[in-house]
Structure 1
Amino acid sequence: MTSVPQPEVDALLERSNRLGSDPRNTNYAGGNTSAKGTAVDPVTGTGTELMWVKGSGGDLGTLTGAGLAVLRLDRLRALAGVYPGVDREDEMVAAFDYCLHGRGGAAPSIDTAMHGLVDAPHVDHLHPDSGIALACAADGEALTKECFGDTVVWVPWRRPGFQLGLDIAAVKRANPRAVGCILGGHGITAWGSTSQECEENSLSIIRTAEEYLRRRGRAEPFGPPLDGYGALPAALRRERAAALAPLLRGLASQDRPQVGHFSDDPVVLDFLARAEHPRLAALGTSCPDHFLRTKVRPLVLDLPPTVPLEEAAARLRELHQEYRAEYAAYYGRHATPDSPAMRGADPAIVLIPGVGMFSYGRDKQTARVAGEFYINAVNVMRGAEAVSSYRPIEESEKFRIEYWELEEAKLRRMPQPKPLATRVALVTGAGSGIGRAIAHRLVAEGACVVVADLDAERAGVVAEELGGPDRAVAVAVDVTSEEQIAAAFAAAVLAFGGVDLVVNNAGISISKPLLETTARDWDLQHGIMARGSFLVSREAARVMTEQGMGGDIVYIASKNGVFAGPNNIAYGATKADQAHQVRLLAAELGGHGIRVNGINPDGVVRGSGIFAGGWGAQRAAVYGVEESELGAFYAQRTLLKQEVLPEHVANAVFALTGGDLSHTTGLHIPVDAGVAAAFLR
Structure 2
Amino acid sequence: MKTYKHVNYLWDDQKAKSLEGDEVALLLYRSNILGADLRITNYGGGNTSCKVWEKDPLTDEDVEVMWIKGSGGDIGTLKKSGLAALYLQRLRHLANVYRGIDYEDEMVELFNHCIFDLSSKAPSIDTPLHGFLPFKHIDHLHPDAAIAIAAAEDGKKITEELFHGAIGWVDWQRPGFDLGLQLQACLHANPDIRGIMLGSHGLFTWGDTAYDCYINSLDIIETCATYLEQNYGQRGPVFGGQKIESLQKEDRNAQASKLAPILRGFCSSERHMIGHFTDDERVLEFINSHDLERLAPLGTSCPDHFLRTKIQPLVLHLDKSENLDDVEELKTKLEPLFEDYRLMYEEYYENCKHDNSPLIRDKNPVIVLYPGVGLFSFAKDKQTARVAAEFYTNAINVMKGAEAVSAYTALPRQEAFDIEYWLLEEAKLQRMPRPKALSGKIALVTGSGGGIGKAIAKKMAQEGAVIVLNDINAERLVACEQDFVSEFGRDAVITTILDVTNEAQIKQALNDAALAFGGVDIIVNNAGLSISKTIEDHTQKDWDLLYNVLVKGQFLVTQAVAPILKGQNIGGDILNIVSKNALVSGPNNAAYGSAKGAQLHLSRLCAAELGPSKIRVNVVNPDAVISDSNIWAGGWAEGRALAYGVSVEELPAYYAKRTLLNEIILPEDIANACFVYVSGLLNKSTGNVLNVDGGVAMAFVR
TM range (shorter): over 0.9
CA contact (8 A) 2:135 2:208 kept: yes
Looking at structure 2, the residues matched to 6 and 569 of structure 1 have their Cα atoms a distance apart, in angstroms, of 75
Task: Select which of 364, 367, 376 maps to 1:349.
Answer: 367
Equivalent position of 1:170 in the other structure: 185
Looking at structure 1, the residues matched to 119 and 46 of structure 2 have their Cα atoms a distance apart, in angstroms, of 20
Looking at structure 1, the residues matched to 159 and 333 of structure 2 have their Cα atoms a distance apart, in angstroms, of 42
Equivalent position of 1:428 in the other structure: 446
Question: Aligned ranges for residues 137-536 of structure 1 at < 5 Å?
Answer: 137-218=152-233, 220-226=237-243, 229-309=244-324, 310=326, 313-467=331-485, 468-536=489-557
Structure 1 letter corresponding to 2:666: L
Point out the more displaced range, 619-628 or 337-346: 619-628
CA contact (8 A) 1:72 1:100 kept: yes
CA contact (8 A) 2:619 2:687 kept: yes
User: Match of 2:523, SS?
Assistant: strand
Point out the more displaced range, 624-633 or 285-294: 624-633
CA contact (8 A) 2:588 2:639 kept: no
Looking at structure 1, the residues matched to 322 and 680 of structure 2 have their Cα atoms a distance apart, in angstroms, of 40
Structure 1 alignment gaps of length 5 or more: none
CA contact (8 A) 1:75 1:99 kept: yes
CA contact (8 A) 1:298 1:351 kept: yes
CA contact (8 A) 2:358 2:421 kept: yes
- 2:563 aligned with 1:542, yes or no? yes
Point out the more displaced range, 186-195 or 609-618: 609-618
Task: Select which of 633, 642, 659 maps to 2:663.
Answer: 642
Looking at structure 2, the residues matched to 659 and 358 of structure 1 have their Cα atoms a distance apart, in angstroms, of 27
CA contact (8 A) 1:30 1:289 kept: yes
Looking at structure 2, the residues matched to 14 and 392 of structure 1 have their Cα atoms a distance apart, in angstroms, of 33
CA contact (8 A) 1:51 1:70 kept: yes
Once the two structures are TM-superposed, the CA of residue 624 in structure 1 deviates from its matched residue by: 2.8
User: Match of 2:174, SS?
Assistant: coil
Identity %: 51
Equivalent position of 1:39 in the other structure: 54
In the comparison of the two structures, how many residue pairs are matched? 676
User: Match of 1:354, SS?
Assistant: coil
User: Match of 2:118, SS?
Assistant: strand
Looking at structure 2, the residues matched to 103 and 496 of structure 1 have their Cα atoms a distance apart, in angstroms, of 40
Looking at structure 1, the residues matched to 108 and 35 of structure 2 have their Cα atoms a distance apart, in angstroms, of 25
Structure 2 letter corresponding to 1:77: R
Once the two structures are TM-superposed, the CA of residue 456 in structure 1 deviates from its matched residue by: 2.7
Once the two structures are TM-superposed, the CA of residue 332 in structure 1 deviates from its matched residue by: 0.9
Structure 2 letter corresponding to 1:299: L
Equivalent position of 1:117 in the other structure: 132
Once the two structures are TM-superposed, the CA of residue 315 in structure 1 deviates from its matched residue by: 3.2
Equivalent position of 2:113 in the other structure: 98
Looking at structure 2, the residues matched to 436 and 575 of structure 1 have their Cα atoms a distance apart, in angstroms, of 21
Looking at structure 1, the residues matched to 95 and 68 of structure 2 have their Cα atoms a distance apart, in angstroms, of 19
Once the two structures are TM-superposed, the CA of residue 320 in structure 1 deviates from its matched residue by: 0.9
Structure 1 letter corresponding to 2:483: E
CA contact (8 A) 1:230 1:270 kept: no
User: Match of 1:56, SS?
Assistant: coil
Question: Aligned ranges for residues 599-618 of structure 1 at < 5 Å?
Answer: 599-618=620-639
Could you tell me the TM-score, scaled by structure 1's length?
A: 0.97
Equivalent position of 1:564 in the other structure: 585
**After TM superposition, which residue ranges in structure 1, 4 or more long, deviate above 3 angstroms?**
310-315
Once the two structures are TM-superposed, the CA of residue 627 in structure 1 deviates from its matched residue by: 1.9
CA contact (8 A) 1:191 1:201 kept: yes
Structure 2 alignment gaps of length 5 or more: 1-18
Once the two structures are TM-superposed, the CA of residue 312 in structure 1 deviates from its matched residue by: 5.7
Could you tell me the TM-score, scaled by structure 2's length?
A: 0.95
Equivalent position of 1:661 in the other structure: 682
Equivalent position of 1:130 in the other structure: 145
CA deviations on 1:237-270 (whole Å, 9 max, x unpaired) are 1011011011000111112211111111111111
CA deviations on 1:183-229 (whole Å, 9 max, x unpaired) are 00111011112221111111111111001111133263211211xx2
Looking at structure 1, the residues matched to 350 and 333 of structure 2 have their Cα atoms a distance apart, in angstroms, of 26
Cα distance change of structure 1 residues 640 and 337 upon mapping to structure 2, 3 Å threshold:
same
Looking at structure 1, the residues matched to 307 and 370 of structure 2 have their Cα atoms a distance apart, in angstroms, of 21
Once the two structures are TM-superposed, the CA of residue 13 in structure 1 deviates from its matched residue by: 0.4
Once the two structures are TM-superposed, the CA of residue 679 in structure 1 deviates from its matched residue by: 1.1
Looking at structure 1, the residues matched to 386 and 216 of structure 2 have their Cα atoms a distance apart, in angstroms, of 30
Looking at structure 2, the residues matched to 281 and 633 of structure 1 have their Cα atoms a distance apart, in angstroms, of 67
Structure 2 letter corresponding to 1:592: S
Structure 1 letter corresponding to 2:379: G
User: Match of 1:270, SS?
Assistant: helix
Structure 2 letter corresponding to 1:79: L
CA contact (8 A) 1:5 1:39 kept: no
Structure 2 letter corresponding to 1:371: A
Structure 2 letter corresponding to 1:485: I
Once the two structures are TM-superposed, the CA of residue 6 in structure 1 deviates from its matched residue by: 6.7
Q: CA RMSD in A?
A: 1.4
User: Match of 2:439, SS?
Assistant: coil
User: Match of 2:691, SS?
Assistant: strand
Structure 1 letter corresponding to 2:367: I
CA contact (8 A) 2:32 2:78 kept: yes
Task: Select which of 88, 92, 103 maps to 1:73.
Answer: 88
User: Match of 2:116, SS?
Assistant: strand
Equivalent position of 2:11 in the other structure: none
User: Match of 2:337, SS?
Assistant: helix
Structure 2 letter corresponding to 1:30: G
Cα distance change of structure 1 residues 509 and 645 upon mapping to structure 2, 3 Å threshold:
same
CA contact (8 A) 1:464 1:472 kept: no
Once the two structures are TM-superposed, the CA of residue 482 in structure 1 deviates from its matched residue by: 1.5
Looking at structure 1, the residues matched to 161 and 461 of structure 2 have their Cα atoms a distance apart, in angstroms, of 53
CA contact (8 A) 1:301 1:353 kept: yes
Looking at structure 2, the residues matched to 114 and 12 of structure 1 have their Cα atoms a distance apart, in angstroms, of 17
CA deviations on 1:30-61 (whole Å, 9 max, x unpaired) are 00100012100121111111100000111101
Looking at structure 2, the residues matched to 238 and 202 of structure 1 have their Cα atoms a distance apart, in angstroms, of 38
Looking at structure 2, the residues matched to 40 and 293 of structure 1 have their Cα atoms a distance apart, in angstroms, of 40
Structure 1 letter corresponding to 2:661: L
Structure 2 letter corresponding to 1:657: V
Point out the more displaced range, 615-624 or 254-263: 615-624
CA contact (8 A) 1:301 1:315 kept: no
